[in-house]
Chains A and B, each alone.
Chain A
Amino acid sequence: MKTVRWLGVGIGVLVPAMAMASTLETVQERDSVRCGVNAAQPGFSSLDDDDQYRGLDTDVCRAIAAAALGDATKVDFVPLDSVERFTALQSGEVDVLSRTTTWTSSRDTTMGMNFTGVSYYDGQAFMVASDLGVQSAKELDGAAVCTQSGTTSELNLSDYFRINGMTYDAVVFDAPEQSIAGFEAGRCDVLSSDASQLYAQRMQLADPDMAVVLPEIISKEPLGPAVRQNDDQWFNLVKWSLFAMLNAEELGITQANVDEQLNSENPDVMRLLGQDGDFGEPMGINTDWAYQIIKQVGNYADIFDKNVGADSDFKIARGLNALWKDGGIQYAPPIR
């Protein structure tokens, strides 16, 4: 698998720089958005019983397809592991990476990619076996810690243990399935990853009560979609697809009531739904782009509740991911 991605880079760099079409043109020509996602992370991206990808990250992909092509189903999901993901984006194998990827300065500046926003504010946490009787992450001196290769978790972990004067053994796997298997078999005492992922992985254990997630959150993990650098048109489209969902929630436009809202007299609603002015044309897409997102995918609250929140198995509270006016930090610039 990995070799294939590297080959991708090899071929990618053989293509002369001049011949690169804009991502939007490529997407419209192909009539689908290629979206890099997790292979199996329940809540964010995993296959359901009908072999369809479901999750917050995949709904972000669907919103982009709804905006760019007017049809949320026109997404080719490309499952990527944490090591392959950046190469796949750099080489053009995917148009957008929506794979619980943390926005950091080095990824933004040295890897030829740009993050377009934050679809989920997360933080790194620890999960331990209940029978160890550990109450706090400060008691983990000398523990063996399973984590995933090439993630920010791997780096935060080393910082956290060093700052607290503790030692640890890093047991590093390529895929989350492997690290959870390692944890279950007792190869490591602790599984460390983003809190949202740990809650999902805990549900996957044969007996979820065998493990507890410790209260400490040791890092900031703003997760969001990323695109290749130097294609501002596509960058704008992906960025505003997410903002449109946040603005829709703020304005009370939901998947259920979006058709009624078309008759709204509220100028903010009229601008978002394309009833007043044309905010799609400058991005190279239809006037009703935001309407299509909300109608076919939903607003941010819709996709949050359905995938990870109140209506899902995970029951994750909105917390930081609530809108700014509800005590969270999700905030989208206005459409005008």
Chain B
Amino acid sequence: MSVSPNTRPAGHKPPFWRDRAKRALIFQLLLVAAVAAFLLYIVGNVQDNLSARGITTGFGFLGNTAGFGIVQSLIDYSSQSTYGRTFLVGLLNTLLVGGLGVLAATIIGFIVGIARLSPNWLLARLATAYIETFRNIPLLLQIFFWYFAVLRTLPSARDSLAFGEALFLNVRGLYLPQPLFESGFGLIPLTFLVAIVASIALVIWNKRRHEATGKRLPAYWISFLLIFGLPLLVLVATGVPVTWEMPELRGFNFRGGITVIPEFLALWLALSIYTASFIAEIVRSGIQAISHGQTEAAQALSLPRNLVLRLVVIPQALRVIIPPLTSQYLNLIKNSSLATAIGYPDLVSVFAGTTLNQTGQAIEVIAMTMAVYLTISLLVSMFMNWFNARVALVER
């Protein structure tokens, strides 16, 4: 800092371009201005060109009637609904397959990852074979495999595979009975909530009691009984206020009940199985990252094996597992846009496909679709970062 202004004689201020801090500020302002000017130019240019080519712009189209049918919708939708509604339907379908995919991939991934470390030779080799197979085949091919090779070989609606009188599987999908709740059913979710709160209280009380007296109850077993037993008890006590709507073969297809379309099954299976192979490797590396000395030290304290895992190995392994796991979750959600290849009505297929094509408003539709994926990804990232901060090693 030989040119620091402080070393100069007082009253002799240097010109501003010699001051490093001011210079940096000016450059940053120039950069911001340049970026803003560039964006303005792009937006203006897009508008000029679109109007020059006679292409309608703006978001007014979202209020127009869509006029096409969508095969799977979680909210009320008919062809008389608006384009805005098709956006919501597509978004929810994306979230559905993304959410269930994350859940299934995590479960399969953890099981396979732990199995790969199993001392059982056959189990470990099976897990390795699973990982190496599904990790190395392109996802799109796997989606086609499940859709065309597996689900298309199912029988037609009239020769469905029936499981009892309630479950039917055919080329049109999986048909399940739908529960219809009668009045008085509201008590059951309420009991469920009460049981959860009671269980949390029990676990906390048990922990304090354990620290104070060294005595402990099997709190987890009691909670399990509370959460599942209590609502069941109420269910029986109120005379089971649920009726089941059974799927029935009427005309061409099964009607009534819940229909799981084959496009959903294929996409969900492919996404879960593919991502699970990566998660399995992440789990394995996380567990192997904990040095064996830690386990031995815990065993030397004569901790039982389940406590060694729960108190020593898993908390440290999670630190290694969570960050790459986040990327896998994001990948899975983004990969769900491959749905359009087999006609699953996700956001890309319904909104960026059909709606874009019927309205011709490519820029608005694609911008909205990109914004959705960005928002979902950022939210997942934020949650996982928060979770990571919670499980991170706190050094004292």
User: Which residues of A are in contact with B by a Cβ distance under 8 Å?
Assistant: 6, 9, 12-17, 20, 82-83, 86-87, 90, 106-107, 110-112, 132, 140-144, 149-150, 154-155, 157-159, 161-162, 168-174, 178, 181-182, 185-187, 189, 228-230
B252 touches A143 (CB 8 A): yes
Considering the complex, give the chain A residue whose CB is closest to the CB of B262: A187
Q: Smallest distance from the beta carbon of B100 to chain A beta carbons, Å?
A: 21
Residues of B within 8 A of A20 (CB): 52
Q: Which of B26-80 contact A (CB under 8 A)?
A: 42, 45-46, 48-50, 52-56, 67-71, 79-80
Contact of B252 among A9, A86, A111, A189 (CB under 8 A): A189
* Interface size grouping (class) on chain B: 35 or more
Also in contact, A150 and B354, with CB within 8 A (given A110-B360, A144-B172, A168-B69): yes
- CB-CB < 8 A to B358: which residues of A? 150, 154-155
List the 8 shortest-distance A-B pairs measured between CB atoms, nearest first: A150-B357, A158-B79, A170-B69, A111-B360, A112-B55, A112-B53, A229-B54, A110-B56
Which B328-368 residues have C-beta < 8 A from chain A?
Answer: 340-341, 343, 345, 349, 353-354, 356-360, 362-363, 366
A17 to B41, CA, bound (A): 13
Residues of A within 8 A of B70 (CB): 170, 172
Could you tell me if B53 and A229 are in contact, using CB atoms closer than 8 angstroms? yes
A108 to B, closest residue via Cβ = B54
Q: Can you name the residue of chain B whose Cβ is closest to the Cβ of A91?
A: B362
Residue of B nearest to A139 (CB): B251
**A172's contact among B50, B157, B345, by CB below 8 Å, is which?**
B345
CB distance from B248 to the nearest CB of A (A): 11
Residues of B within 8 A of A13 (CB): 45-46, 49-50, 363
Contact of B360 among A17, A107, A132, A172 (CB under 8 A): A107
Whether A162 touches B49, Cβ cut-off 8 Å, given contacts A110-B55, A171-B71, A174-B340, is no
Q: Which of B68, B253, B341, B349 has the most CB of A within 10 A?
A: B68
**How far apart are the CA atoms of A221 and B68 in the complex, in Å?**
17
Q: Which residues of B contact A178 (CB under 8 A)?
A: 343
The answer to whether A172 and B349 touch (CB under 8 A), given A150-B354, A157-B69, A185-B171, is yes
Q: A150-B354, A172-B354, A230-B52 are in contact. Are A142 and B250 (CB under 8 A)?
A: yes
Ordered by A's residue number, 10 sampled pairs between the chains whose C-beta atoms are within 8 Å are: A14-B45, A90-B360, A106-B360, A110-B360, A142-B251, A149-B353, A150-B358, A169-B71, A174-B340, A230-B54
Task: Kindly list chain A residues whose C-beta atoms are within 8 Å of the C-beta of B345.
Answer: 172
Docked Cα-Cα span, A173 to B253, in Å, equals: 20
Cβ of B156 under 8 Å from chain A: yes
| A90 and B53 contacting across the interface, CB-CB below 8 Å | yes
* CA gap between A108 and B299 in the complex, in Å: 78
- In the complex where A142-B255, A174-B340 touch, is A155 in contact with B67 (Cβ < 8 A)? yes
Would B362 and A9 count as touching, CB distance under 8 A?
A: yes
Chain B nearest CB, measured from A154 CB (Å): 4
Neighbour of A150 across the interface among B42, B56, B353, CB < 8 A? B353
* Contact A6:B366 (CB < 8 A) given known A169-B71, A172-B354, A174-B353: yes
Once the chains are docked, how many angstroms separate the CA of A161 from the CA of B341? 26
For the complex, give the distance between the alpha carbons of A294 and B126 in Å.
68
Is residue B152 within 8 Å, beta carbon to beta carbon, of the partner chain? yes
Q: Is A6's CB under 8 angstroms from B362's CB?
A: yes
With A112-B53, A186-B171 given, can you name 8 additional A-B contacts, CB distance below 8 Å? Answer: A16-B49, A112-B360, A140-B252, A150-B357, A162-B79, A172-B71, A181-B148, A229-B54
Identify the closest chain A residue to B53 (Cβ): A112
Distance in angstroms from A97 CB to nearest chain B CB is: 13
Contacts A169-B69, A170-B70 given; indicate if A82 touches B357 (C-beta within 8 A). yes
Point out the residues of chain B lying under 8 angstroms from A110, CB to CB: 55-56, 359-360
Give chain B residues whose Cβ lies under 8 Å from the Cβ of A143.
251-253
Is the CB–CB distance between A144 and B366 below 8 Å? no
* Distance in angstroms between the alpha carbons of A149 and B342 in the assembled complex: 12
**Chain A residues positioned under 8 Å from B156 (CB to CB):** 186
B357 near A149: Cβ-Cβ < 8 Å? yes
Closest chain B residue to A140, Cβ basis: B252
Residues of A within 8 A of B49 (CB): 12-13, 15-17
Residues of A within 8 A of B45 (CB): 13-14, 16-17
Establish whether residues A90 and B343, one from each chain, have CB atoms under 8 Å apart when the complex forms.
no
